[in-house]
Structure 1
């Protein structure tokens, strides 16, 4: 988790029904007495609210055990409801502040591992400089996990590769990322303007594991690369894969965005793959289609878009310049 700034969202909590807050705190503390001390509310008042909920629902919310109180499955549903209510209350408070022309808020972003060493540091630096009162929370996950978090309302927006269209997701912006082969400047392939996949497999290959979207993409379209040769190095670490390519011992199939820092530093050459079957990947900034994006979220989404567009333009200028040399 990365926070560029802390935002005060406590004003939103009075909007959450007290019964929900009491249940969540009892579950967190493990007893009514501990929750009473934490909330500064009489234990009898907390117990009364829990009993009222249990009577209305016709089911217990907690198991009373010698070691403490544990939520039942019904109690777990109440806790989830409380957390969603707090998120909505926080969004309401942020929306009201933004209607007053104040950019204060908390934005939750799910992004990819490659972004952590590429575009995210620059995005965060710009955000802190221009909008110091916007808090940014970043979770580094896979595309599948990012989409799940978005649909579960655990993040406000995602920056992810190969996001598949679906009714629950609204893509704000996307761009194609053509496949290429990343090699060290000293590698035998480095002098070429482009390559075909059959050229790539003539050399030791560092490949992504199937936990990553690009490898599943490659398996679906080019499984022969991994079945008709000695096993490549397989890893879920983009950093390791790039280190192997920089060393000259391996080649890597990836995108310009994944290898942008190394391309711009002159540590890697990016050779476009020109096979007709080598379809481009994509990068997208997306939100949930079920709820509107607040102004603070739009600010972060715009920064992400601008950083990707600028990085790709710079990298492609370097790659094209290298082709002319």
Structure 2
């Protein structure tokens, strides 16, 4: 049976042209004649008495009015998908589509296992995953382009409802052969005595460090800066560098014994956090609830595995130290 659309064709075409950058590309994506898309956009502009796109030699660029209308169109399309999912649920089927926004570090952590588990347990639920910064994740939720977000260090706000949250001790990771690896905790002074693999200011943890502990980076020769968390972890695994990150960011490497997590014991440091959140103004569908519960379970499992493996290594190192003495 053909799918019934509740959102007008003109708004769907407008959205696709905005995504594709041109009418010709949008026509190919939608498998619709370019003239039909062009006609619908022209009619919209006539009805609203405003230009929605700037016509450029190499494509189309949204005007301010066009951007506002595309935001509305995407919100309506999100509502359309939610209504369709609710109708399926009324028919007794756990079927629908969920858009999840998550952090870059999640892509190499719990997300692959979550996706596999969802496919096995809920094959009728389709998933769309976008990787974004914490700020952009909140924007996506409130703009209606995401249904659920997994966000680091989410600031409390009335328009975002937190389904689940967990504190993550502030700390750093080192290789098992690093000079600090046998410690149970470290101070910032101890860390700064070693080369640091540092995340760029695009990431929340770096902004936190800059705001509170800018003195850590007074010697630029001691820090390598990158916007790649994967490179940061690889450098730490090499044995030379210390990297500030969370247990969840490095959960896979901790569970595999490739890195050790060392909480920073300075009294002034604050824990980081990970949260699963939705737009507070929108009701949570049954499908959304299934996704959030699975996501929560997978994050908790990832943290438990990392902490159990790390605690076991600490115990082994203690035993080895007692034997040597």
TM-score over 0.5 (shorter chain): yes
The DSSP-based 3-state class of the residue aligned with 1:97 is: helix
How far apart in 2 are the matches of 1:242 and 1:49? Answer: 48
Shift of 1:294: 1.8
Match of 1:169 among 130, 142, 160: 160
TM-score norm. by structure 2 comes to 0.83
Segment drifting more, 113-122 vs 225-234? 225-234
Matched, 1:97 2:79: no
Shift of 1:91: 1.3
The DSSP-based 3-state class of the residue aligned with 2:180 is: helix
How far apart in 2 are the matches of 1:180 and 1:100? Answer: 49
Shift of 1:166: 1.2
TM-score norm. by structure 1 comes to 0.83
Matched residue, 1:146: 137
Counting only pairs closer than 5 Å after superposition, residues 199-278 of structure 1 correspond to structure 2 as 199-227=190-218, 230-278=221-269
Gaps of 5+ in 2: 317-325
Match of 2:280 among 289, 298, 301: 289
Shift of 1:59: 4.3
Shift of 1:100: 2.1
Shift of 1:24: 5.9
Matched residue, 1:122: 113
How far apart in 2 are the matches of 1:67 and 1:181? Answer: 47
C-alpha distance 156-199 of structure 1, shift in aligned 2 (>3 A): same
Shift of 1:72: 6.1
How far apart in 2 are the matches of 1:203 and 1:284? Answer: 32
Tell me how large the CA RMSD over aligned residues is.
3.2
Gaps of 5+ in 1: 1-7
How far apart in 1 are the matches of 2:143 and 2:75? Answer: 9
Shift of 1:185: 1.0
Confirm or deny: 8 A CA contact 1:221 1:277 kept in the other structure. Answer: no
Confirm or deny: 8 A CA contact 2:75 2:143 kept in the other structure. Answer: no
